[in-house]
A and B are shown apart, each in its own frame.
Chain A
């Protein structure tokens, strides 16, 4: 993709500033409606998923105590892989987004949750919630575009290192949780100079990550294998496979979110003084969905609804399927492309981009078009466009927030 600002024909050229603000108003209305209807059913949903996940993990690890026997190894490894995927995707990722903060349950809260992953949740929340979700697909601002080791956009400058990126991507997929930890630590940037290496903030985060990884490794490769006695080595293998399966799966799902064909990217200058409507539009164009069954949505942590997730990152994940038809309709009415497809197609599309962009731009893509300078603006993304509203009724004050 070339950034939308440098494209020959922009897919948003037909939208007036008023259209864009109107999109924002419509999306805010959908958000308000769903957020106001959150309740006991949603609470029951997340508690049920957590209970099932813990049961599955405990059961699988119990079976793996006898992993010397091949059927036990197979069942236990499969169960543990699924448990780890559920924990990372539908539970951890979404809780850390604050989707369940409204329950006011300290056990299921973005400020308290720690996930089964190498990266400490605090660091993940910074790089993911804050940087990636605010600056989605802005070249130079959103490091998720290639994670700093790959080139996934024509407007990212080519260097020879990228020749190897299909290999980097595969290695990263296998060790994805460590890739994320390194990414959250911004190792590339922070190891570059002595001053940065010795920065106390960086050293503290490094120590935090080391401790987290230590505990995770101790659990998966020492404690549980030791508990299984004669099945020691088999349990090590089972846990390694479960981690690998989880890594490959999450990596594939996440690649499908922003790399497939049809997803747009943006210039750094284009988001200066961005309005709420413009931010929403960027999220709509910068994300892609995965079509599939209910099981697929659950196993992807509803990141199969990446578009809906990027529009409303703090909406409970079990509600995305409910708003999806209305979002799709909104795309249609405003003449925009709702990018979606089955998992194999989207994964292939993302991989093709990684392979294609390992080489320098050629042909049409090599022509770098100038971008129009935007007049400086000072909008705040939280501020909604003016809509005629009725004053807050006193009844709303007694309602539980």
Chain B
């Protein structure tokens, strides 16, 4: 075996020399983009409309995909106007699908570049980029005796993944879901079907139809009297989750509540912020008028530099989180956790707290 492996590695080195300076994968990717385990991609197998504003994408992940846990999400890289942007989407399919497909459901967010692209422009056969599944918002190995899911809007997506995966192992499940109208409820038919079969107790709230507005913890307590005794998973807007966390903490049941936040609160007022350099551990306060390169150097961070005017790309470093502004034309670059966007420190200033790998 060792001989075969050595021969194989040797043969591969020859193939690499045939294609140098590019790698053989650069050619193979053109023919079979899903075979490359180093660069995870997925093919769009089907696009199914859910509501007027949302679609479900059936994706075939390529080699290198690892099986997800119900409730986890995947970061999806989509080229929007030529620019690859990454966003996280909850996986709504159970992990054991025999065809290896996964599904995600996307709501077009007003002004959201990626969600709009996915809902309006993605077609069957397109190739998208993926990261391995991740996220701590999961069901426990031992299924809860009494479960409660509180969701709003597209917050239903990770919960749908959990229900489809493990509902048959749970006996007492309450789903409280809030959406603008009845028609806006993603998976509305499926949820109502489960309720009709008596497999879940479904409480729907349509905020536009009723005067009561968004769901408050007190409303839920009225509808589900034993809520603090239930293992609870909640996903929705930040204000809702903040309210729930306070309520559960006040009731001494904080350990029973797990929350999933879709978007971190981005603090971008454009006027500087704290810059954290991950490698050196240096933290610098900036006022947003000075290039990050200058701020870093003043604070003693060892940084590569060149032209110091934005043309040579010698100082490029990855922005891991936060926002920076191009000092020349004011353009903002925003990175969410998990992103890795190369920026030019010599012409970029902090536009809020940001983390730079350098």
Interface presence of A240 (CB below 8 A)? no
A6 interface contact, C-beta 8 A: no
B316 within 8 A of A: yes
How many B residues have CB within 8 A of the partner chain? 45
Q: Assess whether B332 is in contact with A396, with CB atoms less than 8 Å apart.
A: yes
Stretch at the interface among B15-23, B178-186, B196-204, B241-249: B15-23
A397 within 8 A of B: yes
In the complex, whether A313 has a CB less than 8 A from a CB of chain B is yes
Interface bits A19-36 vs B (CB < 8 Å: 1, else 0): 000000000100110011
A382 touches B333 (CB 8 A): no
Number of interface residues of A (CB under 8 A): 60
Report yes or no: A133 in contact with B307, Cβ–Cβ below 8 A. yes
Q: Does residue A14 face the partner (Cβ distance < 8 Å to B)? A: no
CB distance from A359 to the nearest CB of B (A): 35
Q: Mark A287-305, 1 if CB is under 8 A from B, else 0.
A: 0000000000000000000
**A61 to B27 CA separation, bound complex (whole angstroms):** 14
Give the contacts of B43-86 with A (CB-CB under 8 A).
79-85
A190 at the interface (CB under 8 A from B): no
- How many Å lie between the Cα of A397 and that of B113 in the bound state? 12
A299 smallest CB distance to B (angstroms): 20
Binds A, one of B95-103, B159-167, B322-330: B322-330
CB distance from B148 to the nearest CB of A (A): 35
- Interface pair B30/A51, CB less than 8 Å apart: yes
Asked if A103 meets B17 with Cβ closer than 8 Å, knowing A35-B329, A126-B306, A381-B307, the reply is no
User: Do A215 and B84 have beta carbons less than 8 Å apart?
Assistant: no
B313 touches A54 (CB 8 A): no
Contacts of A31 in B (CB 8 A): 329
Whether A219 contacts B307 by the Cβ 8 Å rule is: no
Contacts of A227 in B (CB 8 A): 18
Whether the pair A40, B81 counts as a contact (CB closer than 8 A) is yes
Chain A contacts with B in 235-262, Cβ cutoff 8 A: none
Report whether A382 and B308 are in contact in the complex, using a CB–CB cutoff of 8 Å. yes
Given the contacts A102-B83, A401-B331, A130 and B306 also touching, CB distance less than 8 Å: yes
Q: A38 interface residue, CB < 8 Å from B?
A: yes
Query: Which residues of the other chain, A, contact B331 by a CB distance below 8 angstroms?
Result: 36, 396, 399, 401
Contact call B291/A382, Cβ cutoff below 8 A: yes
- A129-B307, A401-B332 are contacts. A134–B22 as well, Cβ < 8 Å? no
With A and B bound together, what is the CA distance between A38 and B82 in angstroms? Answer: 8
Given contacts A101-B342, A104-B341, A400-B85, contact A392 B311 (CB under 8 A): no
Check if A133 sits within 8 Å of B308, measured CB to CB. Answer: no
Structural contact, B308 and A397, CB atoms closer than 8 A: no
The 0/1 profile, CB within 8 Å of B marked 1, for residues 155-175 of chain A is: 000000000000000000000
Contact (Cβ within 8 A) B83 A109: no
* Stretch of A110-118, A181-189, A332-340 lying at the B interface: A110-118
Which of A39, A101, A107, A219 is B81 in contact with, Cβ under 8 Å? A39
Report how far A31 CA is from B330 CA in the complex, Å: 13
- B84 and A104 contact, CB distance less than 8 A: yes
CB neighbours (8 Å) of B332 from chain A are 392, 396-397, 399, 401
Cα–Cα, bound, A97→B312 (Å): 7
Residues of B296-313 at the interface with A, using a CB-CB cut-off of 8 Å, are: 306-313
Whether A105 sits at the interface, judged by CB under 8 Å, is: yes
Asked whether B26 is an interface residue with its Cβ less than 8 Å from the other chain, the reply is: yes
A212 to B263, CA, bound (A): 44
Which chain A residues lie closer than 8 Å to B132 at the CB level?
A: none
10 A-B pairs closest in CB distance = A43-B82, A130-B306, A381-B309, A129-B312, A98-B313, A130-B312, A114-B21, A134-B307, A401-B333, A39-B81
Sample of 16 more A-B contacts, CB < 8 Å, known A36-B329, A101-B342: A32-B329, A40-B81, A98-B316, A103-B82, A109-B342, A114-B22, A129-B306, A129-B312, A130-B314, A219-B17, A219-B20, A223-B18, A384-B328, A392-B325, A399-B331, A401-B83
Q: Which residues of A contact B (CB under 8 A)?
A: 28, 31-32, 35-36, 38-44, 51, 54, 58, 96-98, 101-105, 107, 109-111, 114-116, 125-126, 129-130, 133-134, 212, 215-216, 218-219, 223-224, 227, 276, 279, 313-314, 380-384, 392, 396-401
